[in-house]
Amino acid sequence: MKIHEFQAKEMLRSHGIQVPKGGPATSGEEAVEVARRVGNGPWVIKAQVHAGGRGKAGGILMASSLHEVGEVSSRLLGARLATVQSGPQGHLVKKVLVEEAVQVERELYAGVVVDRSEGRAVLLLSASGGVEIETLAKERPHEIVREFLEPWGELPSFRARRACFALGLDGEVRSQVEKALRGLCSLFHEEDCTLAEINPLAITKEGVVLALDAKINLDDNALFRHPSWFQLRDPEEEDPLEVEARDYGLSYVKMDGTIGCMVNGAGLAMATMDVVLQVGARPANFLDVGGGAREEVVSRAFEILLKDPKVKVILVNIFGGITRGDVLARGIVDAASKLQVHVPIVVRLEGTNAQEGHRILEESGLRIHVAKSMVEAAKLASTLGRN
């Protein structure tokens, strides 16, 4: 789950990291009010959308008078902002963040992510702030300093210091950066983040260390621990199909391929996507319909898959365990005929009562192709999807 910059900065502040004075606004007048409260200017007006790269796309603007704050904010609000991360249709700007502008001396990058191969959270620090970390990792990877967090989320001070030394930081600035890094690590852990990034972490002309930008992704699986997160959610910024799927209790992630996948079990769903890629095709989504894939659930799943105009074929991969194969097959047939599915459906069904299931599918009179194995199913879907 992504949140907005102004929300992320609120979290940073509560973990002892300094951020510029400011606040969100939804209209030009409100922006002027915030600006007046913040100081005498100049100000920075920042479009609040769930995408980075706003600076280069014209979503970060300066204003030197209150009049200009109103004007610039009104211009951004209601406009669409397309950045390198958003796709060409862009995001609708509904809020801006109005902040005091600061005079920047140096910009650093600081981020915490999960290192999957190490199975640990890692702090990344670099002297090249403002630059996208993905670009830096590709072109000049040796410029990224890495320090691991302890399993309980702490970045021990010696590691924070070592990272700062590697960047040549010293004195009062170094101790401020250290504090910010340790705060970012504890935030990452306590708030159950999948990403906590400050880019840039600025050192001002006065030697103050400030988070000028913040990007925080929260782990949806930890929602139950953080009831307050519901207020942070901005459904309009999320993929409409993903929102709909979530409301149905389906675990769905949209992707960019043409093979709509419907699978029971997250592990099998991952394996299915691997096999689809292996045969040279691309999945349109990840979809786990869960254990008891009954007709209603299958119907909902089909509906969501078919709303994606890119889907050319549906690949159903089900392992009947507790739920019997014949029940699943009937669910698929009923849902497919009720919804008048217009694309071919390939089904691989194994497990309890699979043979009975196959018979039901084959006798349905619908365009359902039964495959014997996962690879066969993926190959068939790939061929049918091309026609």
| Binding footprint of ligand GDP on the chain (CB under 6 A) | 20, 44, 46, 52-55, 60, 101-102, 104, 107, 130, 199-200, 212-213
Which amino acid is present at 148?
Answer: F
Which amino acid is present at 18?
Answer: Q
**Residue whose C-alpha is closest to residue 352's, from 322, 311, 377:** 322
Q: Which stretch binds Mn ion (CB under 5 A): 71-79, 205-213, 259-267, 343-351?
A: 205-213
Residue nearest to ligand GDP (CB): 55
**Residue whose C-alpha is closest to residue 47's, from 60, 34, 28:** 60
**Residue whose C-alpha is closest to residue 326's, from 372, 373, 361:** 361
Closest distance of CB 52 from Mn ion, Å: 6
How far apart CA 176 and CA 154 sit, in angstroms, is 17
When CB distances are held under 5 to 8 angstroms depending on the partner's kind, the choice from ligand GDP, Mn ion, none that residue 104 binds is ligand GDP
- Token output for 204: 């001002």
Q: Which of 30, 109, 178, 252 is catalytic?
A: 109
**197 tagged catalytic:** yes
Closest distance of CB 20 from ligand GDP, Å: 6
Q: How deeply is 371 buried, as exposed, middle or buried, from its count of CB atoms within 10 A (0-12, 13-18, 19+)?
A: buried
Distance of CA 180 to the CA centre of its chain: 24
When CB distances are held under 5 to 8 angstroms depending on the partner's kind, the choice from Mn ion, ligand GDP, none that residue 96 binds is none
Strand pairing report for 193-204 and 209-211: antiparallel
**Is the Cβ of residue 79 or residue 343 nearer to ligand GDP in the bound state?**
79
**Is the Cβ of residue 191 or residue 197 nearer to ligand GDP in the bound state?**
197
When CB distances are held under 5 to 8 angstroms depending on the partner's kind, the choice from Mn ion, ligand GDP, none that residue 283 binds is none
Task: Quote the Cα angle for 358-359-360, to 5°.
Answer: 90
Q: Which of 99, 147, 197, 252 is catalytic?
A: 197
- Return the residue of 18, 83, 186, 199 that touches Mn ion, per CB under 5 A: 199
**109 tagged catalytic:** yes
Report the chain's C-alpha Rg in angstroms: 25
Buried b (16+ CB within 10 A) or exposed e, 180-192: bbbbbbbbbbebe
Closest distance of CB 38 from Mn ion, Å: 20
**Is the Cβ of residue 132 or residue 376 nearer to ligand GDP in the bound state?**
132
- Return the residue of 191, 213, 288, 326 that touches Mn ion, per CB under 5 A: 213
**Is the Cβ of residue 49 or residue 328 nearer to ligand GDP in the bound state?**
49
Closest distance of CB 55 from ligand GDP, Å: 3
* CA end-to-end distance (rounded Å), the chain: 36
How far apart CA 89 and CA 82 sit, in angstroms, is 6
Size of the site for Mn ion (CB under 5 A): 2
Closest distance of CB 184 from Mn ion, Å: 14
When CB distances are held under 5 to 8 angstroms depending on the partner's kind, the choice from Mn ion, ligand GDP, none that residue 44 binds is ligand GDP
Site residues (CB under 5 A) for Mn ion, limited to 250-279:
none
**266 contacts 250 by C-beta, under 8 angstroms:** no
Which amino acid is present at 381?
Answer: A
Closest distance of CB 8 from ligand GDP, Å: 11
When CB distances are held under 5 to 8 angstroms depending on the partner's kind, the choice from Mn ion, ligand GDP, none that residue 317 binds is none
Cis peptide before 200 (omega within 30 of 0): yes
Catalytically active residues, by annotation: 109, 197
Binding region for Mn ion (CB under 5 A): 199, 213
